[in-house]
Amino acid sequence: MSLRVLEPGMLSLLQDRGRFGQHGVGLTTGGPLDAEAFLLNQRLLGNPENATAIEISFGGLVLEAECDTSLCVTGASLPLDINGRELPPWEVHPVRAGDRIRLGYSERGCRSYLGVAGGFAIPPMFGSSATVVREGIGGLRGEKLAAGDRLPCASRPAHPGRRLPRAWWPDYADEVTLRVIPGYQVADFPTLQQRRFFSLRWTVGQRSDRMGYRLEGPAITCERQGILSEGICLGAIQVPADGLPIVLLNDRQTIGGYPKIGAALSLDTARLAQLRPGGGVRFRAISPEEAHNALHLARVRLHNAPLEATENRHG
């Protein structure tokens, strides 16, 4: 009852929602960089929100089914075929033992999610199956997937076919605006530096990964050179000594001592994580109340997304 990895692609990781409540022992959250695409994948398959799926960065994953199940691919736009037959994303497809599943390389966006009916049966470590390579925990061995790996599937019949209407697919643009809740350290940045931060167009640098996206552009300065290390939240925007912001993501360190101008809304870090190097980033300040409302509205929209029935035939 498994899928066997024939070709792992550039970076394929097993992920559930993430590892929560473990910062006190130095373990970060992990989990899907694009929570919206991940959760829609689970909803299409009828899975619990915390089921384990594969996060595929850029593509190139090839699998062989050793059991009958259903799968769904969401997120970045990349070719999907089963036994050479091209199939649409954002839709549940049946697979049978012996089928070969191939994902090409992304054409727009860079993070995709492949889930199966019932999720992959991966034993949790510290309460989660989320893979964090830097910490060597989660997944199969705390590492990215490799050729020959077998991914156990939960024992569950194939789910009826359904899809997300094309009008509801996210648009992974080449430029995003991140809504930012300014933090208490914003006062350490002179007014002119704050205005530059919020008015400039920044560019995603080559040294961006699951820990954080490093941005390039004119440096900004902070009057405070360093702070005592403190806890770091998802989306925290650090400004190190070189003056170039880093937006911290799921695999961030749990504490740090760089000044932080604020924190990006988690809804927007999901869009940021779909940008490739060279993509554009702008920032817009919002209040905690606006952030709270945006999160609730997004949650309602996610649960109300219309799912259409399909015939679910095996080709």
Residue 59 inside a domain? The answer is yes
Judged against a pLDDT cut of 90, whether residue 155 lies above it is answered with no
Determine the average pLDDT of the residues in 225-241: 88
The string of pLDDT tens digits covering residues 162-214 is: 999 999 999 999 999 999 999 999 999 999 999 999 999 999 999 999 999 99
Percent of the chain whose pLDDT exceeds 70: 97
Determine the average pLDDT of the residues in 34-41: 97
Q: Are residues 107 and 228 in the same domain?
A: no
Q: Are residues 62 and 153 in the same domain?
A: yes
Residue 315 inside a domain? The answer is no
Q: Are residues 160 and 229 in the same domain?
A: no
Which residues, 6+ apart, have CB-to-CB distance to 188 below 8 Å?
A: 222, 223, 224, 259
Q: Are residues 262 and 296 in the same domain?
A: yes
Q: pLDDT confidence of 156, banded at 50, 70, 90?
A: low
Last residue of a domain, one of 109, 138, 165: 165
Residue 306 inside a domain? The answer is no
The mean pLDDT of the chain is 93
Res 314: pLDDT: 56
Q: How many domains does the chain have?
A: 2
Distance of CA 51 to CAs 13, 32, 272, Å? Answer: 14, 12, 24
The string of pLDDT tens digits covering residues 74-129 is: 999 999 999 999 999 999 999 999 999 999 999 899 999 999 999 999 999 999 99
Which residues, 6+ apart, have CB-to-CB distance to 277 below 8 Å?
A: 204, 205, 206, 208
Res 313: pLDDT: 57
Q: Are residues 203 and 65 in the same domain?
A: no
In eight-state DSSP terms, residue 136 is T
Q: Are residues 109 and 227 in the same domain?
A: no
Q: Are residues 293 and 182 in the same domain?
A: yes
Q: Are residues 205 and 146 in the same domain?
A: no
Q: Are residues 7 and 153 in the same domain?
A: yes
Determine the average pLDDT of the residues in 22-32: 93
Residue 209 inside a domain? The answer is yes
CA 105/CA 98 separation, integer angstroms: 23
Determine the average pLDDT of the residues in 264-292: 97
Domain of 269, in residue numbers: 175-301
CA 227/CA 189 separation, integer angstroms: 13
Judged against a pLDDT cut of 90, whether residue 312 lies above it is answered with no
Full-model pTM:
0.94
Last residue of a domain, one of 133, 165, 197: 165
